[in-house]
Structure 1
Amino acid sequence: MAAIAPALSRIFEPLADEHDYPAPQIDGTLPPDLTGTLYRIGPGRWEIGRTRLDHLFDGDGMVSQFIFDGRSVRFRNRYVRTRQFVDSLTSDRLRRPGVGTARPGGLLANAGRIPANVANTGVALHAERLLALWEGGPPHRLDPDTLQTHGTHDFDGALRGLLKSFSAHPKWDPRTGEMFNFGQDFSPLPTLNCWKADSRGGMSRIASVRMLDMPWNHDVALTSRHLVFVLDPYLFDLRRLAAGHGVMTALEHRPAKGTRFLLVPRDGGPVRIVEHDALIHVHVSNAFEDGPDTVVDLVLFEDFATLKRDLTDFRASFTALPPSRLMRYRITPNGRVIAEELADVPGEFPQYDWRLSGHEHRFTYMTGRTASSGPYDSVLKVDGEGGPVQAHSLGADAYVGEPIFVPRSPDSAEDDGWLLAVVYSSAEHRSRLEILDARGLAPVAAVHLDHHLPLGFHGTFTRRVASPDAPVPRPEALPTP
């Protein structure tokens, strides 16, 4: 695969400043009933002093906030004050290894050390708590108005001790308000812990699954009865870990091990494991029960070696990910797995109407491309009932982030609403927030920023309108890369 254009690679330049301002330019017309707050998260910089970070997942977490009041949009961004970020304010040395970046000093400086929690992958608002998530440790709690960091959050002690991992991809039951998630712990025994937080934020562990050959897993799906895991054979080379290599650089895909579908009952009971040929994926979409069958959708990649390279050599290739397609897997009571291709258009970051989380849905939205290779320059809409894939290109110079669906009203139809996606323009070296009509992907408005946003990962939208008048904590002097 060819390297990305040098201009597009500028999306990985750090954002040195923390901003707070009304959007200076809005093309089109803001929908007056689009009110609330969009939160986005991702790495804001991949350098600490003289150390250049070597893996996409190692960058310092930064949360962006778009506040919609029905008439205007206000933008604000803040870095999460993790230990690594705070250390960087007074030191230009990397004190902790990353998941793919070693500390200077060789084997003795890295072996046995836990990677830094950089709080850069997911963002969730639950029980009035805004959480910046990173799957290898506890979340960081932020103020939903100012984005000020209040420290790590252990759910009143549920994540203390060894049970402290909390994934970046929680799922919600829209009917009960409960949040479900998982955490992987590898000491003293490899364990997959499954969590349920009630609508008030109190959390309990609902299952603990031990596997001696526990693979790395990034995401989970939720149905009305199960947490659904798709465990691909991503296993760690223990010799490379012992030699001080980062956990992600020690990751290998071992097809002979196969993929396991895990169905974990939400209300207790035995865990069901169904074996399948090896798959390659990172993100799942929605899941649901269809009579006796459990159905889960995911983005299937063709090539693990290229995907792994793109995460490490991200400055040169990540925005042109390898071919992928949206797939549906039906798990029957007798252990048969039936695969169905929903779309063969390359894409990633699948989203859907969260009001249907855990229940049958029709439409999936992704960032993607219509060409066989190149950057994700389009928003895609996939019809699960077999209609044609719709695509809206945002320009030849664009990189399009994850599209978040916002319903027009609480009782509107499944695709009656808007899609919100952050778009980077390499020609301008600026970013904008595109608002599309979800029904036909027609442009509604574009909210332009004064600067670029580095490549981000995930986001969430809430009808809660963050206070634009909340005082922003005075930013510390951010270190210059």
Structure 2
Amino acid sequence: MARVFAPLMREHDYVVDQIDGELPSGLTGTLYRIGPGKWEVGRTLMHHLFDGDGMVSQFAFDGRSVRFRNRYVRTPQFKHGLVSAGPVRPGVGTPLPGGFWANFVKGKGPANPANTGIALHAGRLLALWEGGPPHRLDPDTLETLGTYDFDGRLRGALKAFSAHPKWDPVTGEMFNFGQDLSPLPSLNCWKVDRRGRLRRLARVPMPNMPWNHDVALTTEHMVFVLDPYMFDLRTMFGGGASVFDAIRHRPEKGTRFVLVPRDGGPARIVEHEALVHVHVANAFEDGADTVVDLVLFDDFEAIRRDLSDFRARFTDLPPSRLMRYRITPAGRVIETPLSDRPGEFPQYDWRRSTRRHRYTYMTGRTGPSGAYDTVLKVDNDTGHTQSHEAGPHTYVGEPIFVPRAPDSAEDDGWLLTVVYLAAEHRSRLTILDARDLSPVAALHLPHHIPFGFHGTFTARVADPGAPIPHPDRLPIR
């Protein structure tokens, strides 16, 4: 299974011609997926999952065929790696030799590989990474247009715009956050209106700044679940350790639920016993209560080791389960299990974002350990969990829900997921009927797609005639 992390050294552009089943005629639009495409900068091997060069995959559905293309984000790290033997800036988990001076003064901190999230909003396609600004891409050609700071409105020492924005389907607004270190540790909370204009909603002071990866959204709040993943500055600055290796789980500090009002009022912080999570699902208001769902893990240290030793360990993440947390006006937190099936990468019908949702989709596995080889559908009302097993020696990526029609029922649509086939060392895009997880079609690619993180679907069909500047292959030595 480790070959899912093998680099993809070509940029492709072709119509998929090997399809099992029948393409749904109503499935039109574009699926974008993003993740690290290679973990080599020049001849230097990067040692952390988050440090690979970002690569975007595009599946354009026109109702008759599907066209695939992939393209690397032309970040400074990517371009430097084409002509040099190694990086000039460290990764979050791959430090440069030379200690503090080389990594945080001369190196200016971790490079932005633009590899974690992908968002299309107000006509702009953005490749996201949580420690810096987005890279803007052409939604047709995937050509990199440069870093994007929302016309100078994205501020802060890092100009961080995280990899997990959330949208209000009613207002068309996009909400996101960025962690900042100067002048004091804080969370910058951003709101982008439907025309793409950004403003800072709030700046929340965060002493002992924890690492945070995701945010949820309700009609009233941005909802943060801040677990005690604390940065040990003495480790980071003293011995030349990487940023990620300096994170320590401090359960005695507990988890903080931080509710930031969308109207710009003061944040509310509710203390809770320590949790371990990476991704949240949906959130909503239920009367006076705020409710947020997330995937709860048993062991943070195991996750940290898996990310650093990803080639050997990441396809066997520790046990997890889908949970719901209800925050009452009195500050009580009520915990409810939704499913005991291990999984990750929670998704749902984005039309239900900010509002109560019934179904959550995840990658999962058939047993208590091993690779995620299954798509899960959790009925949050009944606890019933359906599953679709992709087969032996497979790795299933994040499932993205696409509604059959704008007004169709919550689970009336398709799930799109990229599946890696280890025995063949190639990938396929699997289309499932979201109502019962029955297979609809499988699009077989002649190559693999390296392990990816997240994706998005838009009804806009990417122009299949738009040329790619370098369609054949990368000039990599």
Aligned to 1:221: 216
Aligned to 2:66: 73
Q: Output one character per residue of 1:243-281: Cα deviation in whole Å (capped at 9) or x when no partner.
A: 321111111110000000000000111110000000000
* Conservation of the 8 A alpha-carbon contact between 2:154 and 2:198: no
Root mean square deviation of aligned Cα: 1.2
Aligned to 2:41: 48
Q: Output one character per residue of 1:170-189: Cα deviation in whole Å (capped at 9) or x when no partner.
A: 00000010000000001221
Deviation at 1:463, TM superposition (A): 0.3
Q: Percent same amino acid at aligned positions?
A: 72
Aligned to 1:138: 133
Aligned to 1:148: 143
The amino acid across from 1:412 in the alignment is S
Match status 1:261 vs 2:257: yes
Secondary structure of the corresponding residue to residue 285 of structure 2 = strand
User: TM-score normalised to the size of structure 2?
Assistant: 0.98
Secondary structure of the corresponding residue to residue 244 of structure 1 = coil
Divergent runs of 4+, >3 A: 104-108
Secondary structure of the corresponding residue to residue 109 of structure 1 = helix
Secondary structure of the corresponding residue to residue 87 of structure 1 = helix
Q: Output one character per residue of 1:376-425: Cα deviation in whole Å (capped at 9) or x when no partner.
A: 00000000012421011001110000000000000000000000000000
Distance of 2:442 and 2:281 partners within structure 1: 26
Distance of 2:227 and 2:97 partners within structure 1: 32
* Conservation of the 8 A alpha-carbon contact between 2:339 and 2:383: no
Aligned pairs for 1:316-335 within 5 A: 316-335=312-331
Aligned pairs for 1:328-367 within 5 A: 328-367=324-363
Distance of 1:106 and 1:275 partners within structure 2: 36
Distance of 1:278 and 1:137 partners within structure 2: 28
Distance of 2:32 and 2:363 partners within structure 1: 17
Deviation at 1:455, TM superposition (A): 0.1
The amino acid across from 2:81 in the alignment is S
Deviation at 1:111, TM superposition (A): 3.8
Q: Output one character per residue of 1:73-102: Cα deviation in whole Å (capped at 9) or x when no partner.
A: 000000000000011121121111000001
* Conservation of the 8 A alpha-carbon contact between 1:60 and 1:118: yes
Aligned to 2:123: 128
How many residues are treated as equivalent by the alignment?
A: 474
Deviation at 1:161, TM superposition (A): 5.1
* Conservation of the 8 A alpha-carbon contact between 1:54 and 1:101: yes
Secondary structure of the corresponding residue to residue 299 of structure 1 = strand
Match status 1:29 vs 2:14: no
Aligned to 1:292: 288
Match status 1:307 vs 2:299: no
Aligned to 1:273: 269
Distance of 2:475 and 2:278 partners within structure 1: 33
The amino acid across from 1:172 in the alignment is W
Distance of 1:151 and 1:308 partners within structure 2: 31
CA 1:247–1:385 in structure 2 vs 1: closer, same or farther (change >3 Å)? same
* Conservation of the 8 A alpha-carbon contact between 1:44 and 1:62: yes
The amino acid across from 2:35 in the alignment is G
Deviation at 1:50, TM superposition (A): 2.3
Secondary structure of the corresponding residue to residue 241 of structure 1 = helix
The amino acid across from 1:31 in the alignment is P
Match status 1:57 vs 2:50: yes
Distance of 2:135 and 2:103 partners within structure 1: 24
Deviation at 1:24, TM superposition (A): 2.3
User: TM-score normalised to the size of structure 1?
Assistant: 0.97
Listed as ranges, the gaps of 5+ residues in structure 1 are 1-7
Secondary structure of the corresponding residue to residue 200 of structure 1 = coil
Q: Output one character per residue of 1:122-150: Cα deviation in whole Å (capped at 9) or x when no partner.
A: 00000000000000000000000000000
Deviation at 1:105, TM superposition (A): 4.0
Aligned to 2:32: 39
Match status 1:10 vs 2:19: no
Match status 1:417 vs 2:413: yes
Deviation at 1:371, TM superposition (A): 0.5
Secondary structure of the corresponding residue to residue 311 of structure 1 = helix
Distance of 2:148 and 2:49 partners within structure 1: 24
2:186 is matched with which residue: 191, 212, 215? 191
Greater displacement, 23-32 / 235-244:
235-244
Aligned to 2:374: 378
Distance of 1:160 and 1:273 partners within structure 2: 24
The amino acid across from 1:133 in the alignment is L
Deviation at 1:479, TM superposition (A): 5.0
Aligned to 1:3: none
Listed as ranges, the gaps of 5+ residues in structure 2 are none
Distance of 2:134 and 2:274 partners within structure 1: 31
The amino acid across from 2:183 in the alignment is P
CA 1:264–1:404 in structure 2 vs 1: closer, same or farther (change >3 Å)? same
* Conservation of the 8 A alpha-carbon contact between 1:102 and 1:246: yes
Q: Output one character per residue of 1:261-305: Cα deviation in whole Å (capped at 9) or x when no partner.
A: 000000111110000000000000000000000000000000111
